[in-house]
Amino acid sequence: MKAQILKLLRAENGVVSGQALSAELGISRVSVWKHIKKLREVGYGIRSFPNGYQLLRSPDTPFAWEFPGREASIFYFAEVDSTMDIAKELARNGCPNLTVVVADRQNKGRGRLNRKWLSDAGGLYFTLVLRPEIPIILSSRISFLTSMTLARVLREMFDIDARVKWPNDILVNERKICGVLSEMEAEADRVNFINIGIGVNVNNDPSRSEPQASSLKVLLGRKIARKDFLRSFLDEFEAQLHKADLDRVISEWKRYTVTLHRRVRIVANHDVSEGTAVDVDANGALILQMADGSRKKILYGDCFHRDRKL
């Protein structure tokens, strides 16, 4: 109902009478008033006139009703420990493909390799529950599809040079803007669910504690509507999933990468490898050319670019 009220108020761009709203929505005027009251309580600026209501401003909060067609599959929270935990519970309880858990802040945001993910207000933190019908061996391609889609949407929406760093960081001017974390549960050799957690530095500024990171607001010099970005990303990601051409994901991803043809250092637990990144194989492993001419396949780790692009 809130989605419909907002749609009518936005369409008019002026005052809409309570009578028109109640007739259009098939509810009483008291009911309309109650929804308007609720919308005001969560931050919408709605002015009352003797003859109706006018929407003056909307908060940049990813309430489910701001995503027409996806209302039932978006779970919004102001604050959580981690959207990964909630998504895992939902997934184990059978929630459908493309369920989204999104939060304004996380107290225990998680990054890859057991790191913390700073989750201050202003950023966009969400986890997608995916149920692809694929064998486990192909599951890593979903993370590559995610990072590639993030880079693509950022480029299209903001005209910025968004790139991917192996495996799935999104950088602009060598600064990290987004991170991707995946968690999977499987039975036998089939995927039960893959949860993809995405943290986007939008209107926050992580650079004080993470000098290598930046945000869209810092880059563009203006505030960005998180809900517009989330909407565009979900639409594009869903379209990409339907194309389901997982054979082409890595070659597409390579078009956006800044890792290949560079000297890199990969740190995985206590193992450090240095070499030139020469390729990424079909399942996302990084191929390093070592100083002695041999090749090494790297399955996971932290990647540090050692030089400027060759």
Task: Give the residues lining the site for ligand BTN (CB under 6 A).
Answer: 82-84, 106, 109-112, 115, 117, 125-127, 169, 179-181, 197-199
In whole angstroms, how close is the CB of 85 to ligand BTN at the nearest point? 8
Per-residue tokens: 74: 């978006």
The span from the CA of 159 to the CA of 244, in Å, is 26
* Residue 112: CB minimum distance to ligand BTN, A: 4
Between 84 and 151, CB nearer to ligand BTN: 84
Q: Which is nearer to ligand BTN, 22 or 111 (CB)?
A: 111
Ranges assigned E (strand) in the chain: 45-49, 52-57, 74-80, 99-106, 124-130, 162-165, 169-172, 175-187, 190-200, 262-268, 271-280, 286-289, 295-298, 302-305
Taking the least distance from each CB to ligand BTN, the nearer of 132 and 179 is 179
Smaller CB distance to ligand BTN: residue 211 or 293? 211
Q: Which is nearer to ligand BTN, 18 or 179 (CB)?
A: 179
Count of CB atoms within 10 A of residue 63's CB?
Answer: 20
The secondary structure of 38-96 as a DSSP string is HHHHTT-EEEEETTEEEEEE--S---GGGSTT-GGGEEEEEEES-HHHHHHHHHHTTPP
Name the minimum Å distance from CB 122 to ligand BTN: 13
Contact 40, 5 (CB under 8 A): no
Q: Which residue reads 């040079």 in tokens?
A: 161
Shortest approach of ligand BTN to residue 223 CB, angstroms?
20
Residue among 244 and 299 whose Cβ is closer to ligand BTN:
299
Pairing of strands 295-298, 52-57: unpaired
Reading the block at residue 171, the tokens are 């950088």
Residue 245, burial from CB neighbour count under 10 angstroms (0-12, 13-18, 19+): exposed
> What is the nearest approach in angstroms of ligand BTN to the Cβ of residue 84?
5
Cβ closest to ligand BTN, residue 125 vs residue 144: 125
What is the identity of the amino acid at 120? D
Residue nearest to ligand BTN (CB): 179
Residue 292 Cβ vs ligand BTN, minimum distance, rounded to whole Å: 31
Decide whether 84 or 91 has the Cβ nearer to ligand BTN. Answer: 84
Q: Which value, in Å, is the radius of gyration of the alpha carbons in the chain? A: 22
Q: Which two tokens stand for residue 19?
A: 């009578």
Least Å distance, CB 169 to ligand BTN, is 6
Q: How far is the CB of 193 from ligand BTN (least distance, A)?
A: 15
